[in-house]
Amino acid sequence: MKYVNITPKFSQNNEVIDGVSIIKAQTNDSASFRAFDGNPNTGYRSSIFYPPFPDHLGLSFPTKHLVKKYSIILDKTYHSVKSWEIHGSNDKFATYDVLHEVNDFVITPNKVEEFYLPEVIKPYMQFRIRVKSRYGDNSWGIYELAFYELLYEKKILIKNNSSYYKYDGISWRLLENSVPTEEDYLLHGMNIDDISTIPESAWAELKGDVELCYYTDALNKTKVSFNIETEPFTLAEEFDGQTIKIIEYTDNPTQEESIITLETEPFTFYDEVGNSFDVLYYTDDPDKTEAELEINHNYSPWDELDGDFELVTWTMEEETEVQEELKPIFKEKIEDGDFYSAKVDLSKGIVNMK
The domains found in the chain, sorted by start residue, are 2-151 (2.60.120.260), 154-216 (no CATH)
**211-220, 289-298, 310-319, 332-341: the lowest-pLDDT one:** 332-341
CB 81 within 8 A of CB 144: no
**Residue 179, pLDDT score:** 87
User: Which of 25-29, 32-36, 328-332 has the highest mean predicted lDDT (pLDDT)?
Assistant: 32-36
Alpha carbons within 13 A on the beta-carbon side of 1: 15
What is the spatial distance between Cα 83 and Cα 106, in angstroms, rounded to a whole number? Answer: 10
Over the stretch 147-201, which tens digit does the pLDDT of each residue have? 999 888 888 899 998 899 999 888 999 988 888 888 888 888 888 888 888 888 8
Q: Supply the pLDDT for residue 10.
A: 96
Q: Name the pTM for this structure.
A: 0.55
At 351, the pLDDT band (50, 70, 90 cuts) reads very low
The predicted model gives 1-13 an average pLDDT of: 92
Cβ proximity of 128 and 86 under 8 Å: yes
Average pLDDT of the residues in 128-139: 89
**Residues 31, 140 contacting (CB under 8 angstroms):** no
How far apart, in whole angstroms, are the C-alpha atoms of residue 3 and residue 170?
A: 32
**CB contact set of 3 (below 8 Å; sequence gap of 6+):** 68, 69, 148, 149, 150, 151
- H or E segment to which residue 65 belongs: strand 55-65
Contact (CB, 8 A) for 129 and 57: yes
Q: Are 33 and 111 in contact (CB under 8 A)?
A: no
HSE toward the beta carbon, residue 65, CA cutoff 13 A: 24
